[in-house]
A and B are shown apart, each in its own frame.
Chain A
Amino acid sequence: MFGYMGKILRVNLTDKKVSEEPLDRHTARKFLGARGLGAKILFDELKLGTDPLGPENKLVIATGILTGIPIPGSARFVVMAKSPLTGIWGESPAGGFFGNELKAVGYDAVILEGKASRPVYLWVNESETEFRDAGHLWGKLTRDVQREIFKEVKDETAIVGCIGPAGENMVKFASILFDFNHVAGRTGMGAVMGSKNLKAIAVRGTQRPKYADEEKLIDLSLKELANKGETTRRGCYWPDALDKYGSNVDYRYWQLTGRLPTQNFRKCTFPGYQNVIAETVSSTILIRTNTCPHCPIQCNRIVQVSHPYEVDPDYGGPEYETTAALSSFCMNDSLAALAKANELCNKYAMDTISTGVTIAFAMECYEKGLITSKDTEGIDLTWGNPEAMIQIVEKIAHRQGIGDLLAEGVRRASKKIGHGAEEFAMHVKGMEIPMHEGRGKKGHGFSYTISNRGACHLQMESDDLFEETPYPEVGIDETVKADRLYAGPEKVKLVKVVNDLFILYDCLPICRWTVYPDGGKRVETFAKIINAATGWNVTIGELMTVGERVCNLERAFNVREGINRKDDVLPKRLLEEPLPDGPYKGETIGKKALDKMLDHWYALRKWDKDSGIPTREKLEELGLKYVADELENIGPPRKAEKHSPS
């Protein structure tokens, strides 16, 4: 099969058995790879009610056709499992070298199942897949683990993905760190790895796929490498801004437009913003930038601080989400403390978004007297206290004191605390809400409710991006309405098209930063690249259908676990509390408006209006009859109290 390695590695950690199985050609065409392949594997192989931290859960790391092809943004892969944070579909895309190297050692994906009897790491090389003792690595920080493994496998060019103490302690939002500072951040994939006693996976190979038309592929790749984007499309040299400032270039824009998530979404502008904006970072603590293979954008930040906190540049530097979650969201205006907290999250391997949102939640609890200084062992967890923020990061990673409760995420923590704490636990389906203010851009806000992995900012894009910028090639035309405050049916149509498009991106996979300037035209380019690689004749329509298919499959996974319309909600704060200041002062989303948007969403998706369950008609249309059969066997929607994932 052209374009793929054609093999999946399956590792059973209980029996220490390794096997290879072929990647089915039909599956490859229907689901492409990466997120699509993982969705197929996990829907088929996991049963209803699988314990996310039990040996029956499976961790899938999957690449796609584009992984390894030398075009900007292609160095991506996706880590997937049933999430311990949410109890539903868990998925975490990441960049860097790991995906390329997994293919180079001969595999399109690896499935990790079972549980090792004691800590191990895997060394996957061209001779064999070895189980190596990791007892001496357990407890070690991520960089130290990677360096130790380089010595042990005698190869400093090996690419290592590992967990830190947070994953070992099964912090529900623990992450996996690849090549020092590329992170599979969200949904707790690090906790799944920790539950399997798997400390790390190291890969090294020299192979590459066979391609159908190598000459054409090279030609297309060279054009992509030279492409700076159609700059007149929105007049935005997006890649240049990312190069100089990283994704944190957004921070000032959100502040100036009154949509910067602040103080647990109680506010929308932050007085201390100048201390942490990208321009300040660039002129003070930034020492260099970094990038993924084949990508000229250089969006990664590398920072160094010596006072009042020592921040090791080996752990990179904060991007936008991290910056907002650990500055404005917690009312912290200390850049040094922000950089330190980012470093700790990478050292211990924890999702920075969930960490920041959880700390902000704890700060609000402290303010309201629901958590006291006795609970925090003397830490003064007041808003904006940088030292307190850093101490709580440590406690969460090690599940010490109050950290043990907070390590469960805001949904569980708020239930335990009670006394109304659930009202300001900012999550959807158990996943902490990222740093985009949905009250001021209602499509993006709506997308939190419909995202299959819980609140996620990557299933849609800021409405602003589509204002005055159609993507007619994929259906974002005059029938959609992108105006940021509009929340009617044409906005839902925009969300639906973008959602399918973004899921497709995760199946290729391709980094979002490289696709914005050219909009829908880029999908046409990807079709050409895929056809040159595989010998297929895919069209834009077929690719968009892949996005829709995978969306439905993930939704079916969630429905099987008890998700239905009652879970497609937003916290009360975003529904009812208006933005307090700025250009969009007074805006909310509103329960009635959200319900109407959901009605339109289900109609567009051809899902049942009352339950939000994909209809048989839709699933069969997408070639998922067996999924429809399975959902029918499970029976009608179950009540939230009995079956909602805890």
Chain B
Amino acid sequence: MEVTVRVSRGALSEIVGRSDVTIHCENPVRVIDVLNILAEKFGKTFRDYVFDAKTGEVKKYLILALNGINVSSMKGTETQIDDRSELLMLTATGGG
């Protein structure tokens, strides 16, 4: 199966080196699995950016949306991903 991960412009796109990454997996994956695959691929900087070092949880300022829906209204990082889905990683911003 194929998952496209799109990252918001900013530090994430700097770490990843581009605005989207396509992952190919043999088996069905959850959101957390995709994040771990990306951490393997992009190393410590990515892992430190995404995961809280103490708790191992995804940091609060990172929003994950699967096919346009915030995963927190589904099963969070345990949400299963369908083939050809798009996972958006979006950083908290502010301003007005």
Contact = CB atoms under 8 A, between A and B. Distances in A.
Interface in A513-552: 513, 516
Contact of B11 (A231, A244, A252, A320): A231
B96 A247 contact: yes
Contacts of B60: 467-468
Contacts of B96: 247, 250, 320-321, 434-436, 457-458
Contacts of B56: none
B93 A236 contact: yes
Contacts of B13: 237
Nearest to A464: B92
A108 B79 CA distance: 58
A253 B73 contact: no
Contact of B90 (A256, A274, A462, A513): A256
B10 A241 contact: yes
A167 B8 CA distance: 40
Nearest to B70: A256
A257 B61 CA distance: 11
A623 interface: no
Interface in B10-50: 10-14, 49
A371 interface: no
A458 B88 CA distance: 28
Interface string A161-200: 0000000000000000000000000000000000000000
Contacts of B94: 250, 461-462, 464-465, 516
B63 interface: yes
Nearest to B59: A468
A10 interface: no
Nearest to A244: B9
Nearest to A469: B61
Contact of A240 (B10, B59, B63, B72): B10
A231 B92 contact: no
A250 B95 contact: yes
Nearest to B64: A256
A245 B59 CA distance: 24
B80 interface: no
A517 to B, nearest CB: 10
Contact of A250 (B14, B59, B93): B93
Nearest to B95: A247
Candidate in B9, B13, B69, B72 with the most chain A CB atoms within 10 angstroms: B9
Given A238-B10, A241-B9, A252-B90, A516 B95 contact: yes
Given A241-B9, A258-B70, A512 B95 contact: yes
A226 B9 CA distance: 20
Given A234-B61, A467-B60, A320 B9 contact: no
A338 to B, nearest CB: 17
A461 B96 CA distance: 9
Interface string B76-96: 000000000000101111111
Contact of A467 (B10, B61, B73): B61
A235 interface: yes
Contact of B93 (A231, A253, A457): A253
A244 B70 CA distance: 23
A583 interface: yes
Contacts of A249: 9, 93
B70 A583 contact: yes
B59 A583 contact: no
A272 interface: no
B90 A237 contact: no
Interface of A: 231-232, 234-238, 240-241, 244-245, 247, 249-250, 252-253, 256-258, 274, 320-321, 434-436, 457-458, 461-462, 464-465, 467-468, 512-513, 516, 582-583
Interface of B: 8-14, 49, 59-61, 63, 65, 68-70, 72-73, 88, 90-96
Please name the 3 residue pairs, one residue from A and one from B, whose CB atoms are nearest each other, closest first: A237-B10, A465-B94, A235-B11
28 contacts: A232-B11, A234-B61, A236-B11, A236-B92, A237-B10, A237-B13, A237-B14, A238-B93, A240-B9, A240-B10, A249-B9, A250-B93, A250-B94, A253-B63, A256-B63, A256-B70, A256-B88, A258-B70, A458-B96, A461-B94, A462-B94, A464-B92, A464-B94, A467-B60, A468-B59, A513-B95, A583-B70, A583-B72
